[in-house]
Homo-oligomer: A and B are copies of this chain.
Amino acid sequence: MPETNETPASSIPPGLYVVGIGPGGLDYMCGRAVEVLKSVEVVAGYTTYIDLIRPLISGKEVVRTGMMKEVDRVAAAIDAALAGKTCALVSSGDPGIYAMAGLVFDMCRERDIALSEPGGAGLFVEVVPGIPALAAGAALLGAPLTHDFAAVSLSDLLTPWETIEKRIEAAAAADFVLAIYNPRSKKRDWQLGRAVEILLAHRSPETPVGVVTAAMRAEQSVAITTLGAFDPASADMQTTVFIGNSHTFRYGDRMVTPRGYARKYDMVRS
């Protein structure tokens, strides 16, 4: 992957590019994201993500803000694009899954900013997808998501806890695999334990649970345990927790949810 910025800024039209950088290192970013990051004039993002893409954006104007300044950061990115610049707003994982894409369009609506095609009278916005944390974590675990699954965030900062609990209950009862985002932070220390309680009312304590922290980064950790043995304190804000469905099994050091091919094709199961 190139380490320098040699693509002229004019290779993409002015506008706001909402870019998913994938789970971690540059190896898991798609070609379109690399092209956009090399081409833009301005990059906005949380400090940790800016550091991950540093080799691609040397010499560019950078709008760095801390985790709690999301609205300010998106506003600055929109303003840069409205001023005729090419601006990338970066998110880890996919920008549309618990990340910045929703806020961009929500804010455009609030400010009555018309959206347009490239070169049009309004704001051109392109969302560049990335590998989401749920796909990166699943790859490291084996194949926990190879059947129907639900993604649920345990952050009750912006969503009432009753809504979150209702969703966990519904997903547990309907035998969805669960991918749990934002499972635990210093201030939110009881929600994950409560989620496990709800799940144990519907699933065996032997249900496999995968715990992936900082996938594809230097500090990556991957563990498989069971619903009965899972310790919520093993998760933090960088963790995605995968709860198996009633068919999920462990094979060696992998966690696998079958689609059922083996049964269909009459292979013998031990």
Contact = CB atoms under 8 A, between A and B. Distances in A.
Contact of A158 (B1, B109, B144, B260): B260
B32 A96 contact: no
Interface in A224-265: 249, 251-254, 256-265
Interface string A148-165: 111111000111000110
A57 interface: no
Contacts of A268: 110
Given A127-B142, A251-B105, A258-B106, A150 B176 contact: yes
Interface in A107-132: 107-110, 112, 114-115, 125, 127-132
Contacts of A258: 102-103, 106
A129 B127 contact: no
A180 to B, nearest CB: 10
A102 B149 CA distance: 14
B131 A129 contact: yes
Contact of A31 (B29, B97, B105, B261): B29
A121 to B, nearest CB: 12
A142 B71 CA distance: 18
Interface residues of A, number: 91
A206 interface: no
B146 A262 contact: no
Interface string A24-40: 00111111101100000
A77 interface: no
Contacts of A16: none
Copies per complex? 2
Interface of A: 1, 20, 22-23, 26-32, 34-35, 70-71, 94-99, 101-110, 112, 114-115, 125, 127-132, 135-136, 138-140, 142-153, 157-159, 163-164, 166-167, 169-171, 173-176, 249, 251-254, 256-265, 267-270
Given A99-B146, A105-B256, A148-B150, 17 more contacts: A1-B31, A31-B34, A70-B261, A96-B139, A96-B143, A98-B147, A101-B138, A102-B257, A106-B259, A110-B269, A114-B252, A127-B142, A127-B143, A132-B135, A158-B260, A166-B175, A171-B174
19 contacts: A1-B31, A28-B30, A28-B32, A28-B129, A71-B261, A97-B135, A97-B149, A99-B146, A102-B146, A105-B143, A106-B256, A115-B251, A127-B142, A129-B138, A148-B151, A150-B150, A166-B174, A166-B175, A167-B176
